[in-house]
Amino acid sequence: MTIKTLTTASIAALVLGSGAAMADTWRYAFEEALDEVQGVYAQKFKEEVEANSDHEVQLFPFGTLGESDNIMEQTQSGILQFVNQSPGFTGSLIPEAQVFFVPYLLPQDQETLATFFRDSKAINDIFPELYAEQGLELLKMYPEGEVMLTTKQPVEGPDDLGDVKVRVMTNPLLVESYKAFGATPTPLPWGEVYGGLQTGIIDGQENPAFFIESTRMYEVTDHITRLGHNNFTTALMANKEFFDGLSDEDKKVVQDAADTAFDTILEYQQGLTEESLEKIQEAKPEITVTTLSEEQRAPFRDTAQQVEETFLEIGGPRAQEILDQMKADLEAAGSS
């Protein structure tokens, strides 16, 4: 189903006219449903804010206020106070954020991944400066799960992706990554993906297992392939003018809530991938789930350098600094 795009003006009328203009009511939009990872994070954030202050947090799941570009526009304009969005979309605003789509950069080991997101200097020191330039306060980045490819035909190597139209977010580096893999990347709003797979506009898409299961993407594809190429990253941001105007006490409430929700979501994800794959296979026994061997992954992994070079060309003035720092952070996380 295609979500009808709402204008900023109509959203302002809807939200502000609903009595949500009270100073102590904060509005928070995200890209998933309440029972998906971003929704679980948002609910914990809301719980912590409301338990430790007099403020109320109003949650707006995916589709409530439009697509991803709509909720970002609404946050930058101050209609929303908080937005949870993937660098897949913020990459158009902050080109350096596209670094999260360099294949095989992030580790598969969950403990290393958690340590990286918690302690990374790139995430905690450099990215907040870049987000601030776009009127955003970066509060927390966190992983959502191993990205898997769903297609209508089995995939064992790049040759199997020739002419396969894979839906991607509107992110130049993700487009480049799938070109390097041998596929035909096809940017498409999320609300049009299920129908696009039904009608053949696209042949596949990528997402974590929990999202493939909850959105029933398995109904319109036949094969799930674990390339091991990435982990879906997302970020909680606030409108910077709003955040800067908070008292020190309220800033601490917000940051503590973001930190607590981070710990909660890491715990929530333990075993989530395998549980989601089991549910998919129960619902559709004929679907195949293939984990490529290291030998099979090698041709895909070989494309990483090419995509890195593209990132350095299009990833903004601090691309080299970001890439170098992330690699140093990942090395530190792996040895800790």
| DSSP assignments along 115-172, one per residue | HHHHH-HIIIIIHHHHHHTTTEEEEEEEEEEEEEEEESS--SSGGGGTT-EEEE-S-H
Amino acid 24: pLDDT:
86
pLDDT digit string, tens, across residues 19-57 = 333 448 999 999 999 999 999 999 999 999 999 999 999
Token pair belonging to 38: 């971003």
Share of the chain above pLDDT 70, in %: 93
Tell me how far apart the alpha carbons of residues 202 and 188 are, in angstroms, rounded to a whole number.
9
Can you point out the beta strands (E) in 173-268?
A: 184-187, 204-208, 223-226, 231-239
Contact 241, 135 (CB under 8 A): yes
pLDDT digit string, tens, across residues 173-219 = 999 999 999 999 999 988 899 999 999 999 999 999 999 999 999 99
**How crowded is the C-beta side of 241, counted as CA atoms within 13 Å?**
8
Choose the weakest-confidence range: 166-170, 265-269, 274-278.
166-170
Handedness of CA 223, 224, 226, 232 (dihedral sign): positive
Residue with tokens 């609903």: 18
Query: Which three-class secondary structure string do you get for 263-316?
Result: HHHHHHCCCHHHHHHHHHHHHCCCCEEEECCHHHHHHHHCCHHHHHHHHHHHCC
User: Three-class SS of residue 332?
Assistant: helix
Q: Round the average pLDDT of the chain to a whole number and report it.
A: 92
Query: Which residues does residue 208 pair with via DSSP β-bridges, in sequence order?
Result: 147
Amino acid 1: pLDDT:
37
Q: Which residues 6+ apart lie within 8 Å of 148 measured at CB? A: 206, 207, 208, 209, 212, 224, 225, 226, 227
Q: If you average pLDDT over residues 83-110, what whole number do you get?
A: 93
Q: What is the CATH number of domain 8-335?
A: 3.40.190.170
Token pair belonging to 183: 């596929």
How sure is the predictor about 18, in pLDDT bands with cuts at 50, 70 and 90?
Answer: very low
Contact 139, 239 (CB under 8 A): no
Angle between helices 172-181 and 304-314 (to 10 degrees): 160
How sure is the predictor about 222, in pLDDT bands with cuts at 50, 70 and 90?
Answer: very high
Residue 335 has pLDDT above 90, yes or no: no
Contact 28, 42 (CB under 8 A): yes
In this prediction the pTM is 0.90
Residue 149 has pLDDT above 50, yes or no: yes
Handedness of CA 183, 186, 189, 193 (dihedral sign): negative
Report the chain's terminal Cα–Cα distance, integer Å: 45
Q: Residue type for 210, please?
A: F
Amino acid 124: pLDDT:
97
Amino acid 5: pLDDT:
43
